[in-house]
Amino acid sequence: MYTMENYVWGLVAYGLGCLLMLPLTWRLTRLLIPWSPPRVIVRLFAAAFLLTPVKAYEDMDFLAPAWVVAGFELVRPTTVEGPFRAIMPMLAVFLAGVLLYVGFVLARFWVRRGQRQEA
């Protein structure tokens, strides 16, 4: 069984790994995907995939990355829901990010349109 110190050090190691992976993802998507909207969607997916936490077990308060929990639940389900217990939060975070991005693009469009009409 893990102690609280083991759990905290695991979070620190995973956080450092994400801090190293996300800038690499940003750079690779900039090189491989020339058009901005699909590039942002891929970046949002990578961030949601790596950073979404879920409870590792329903009876414990420890959090784990959702993609790890989904992988373990695919191999050996512990509940009836199986991997959907971890996939649904990732999907919700991804869709919320896409909606925020669409809202940002629309707001920017309206502001620019208003500036053009004033000039």
The model's pLDDT over 31-90, given as tens digits with 9 standing for 90+, comes to 999 999 999 999 999 999 999 999 888 787 888 899 999 999 889 888 888 888 889 999
Is pTM, for the whole model, over 0.95? no
Q: Report residue 12 as tokens.
A: 């620190």
| Domain range for 74 | 4-118
Q: Give the integer Cα–Cα distance in Å for 56 and 43.
A: 25
Q: Give the integer Cα–Cα distance in Å for 82 and 108.
A: 41
**Structural domain count, the chain:** 1
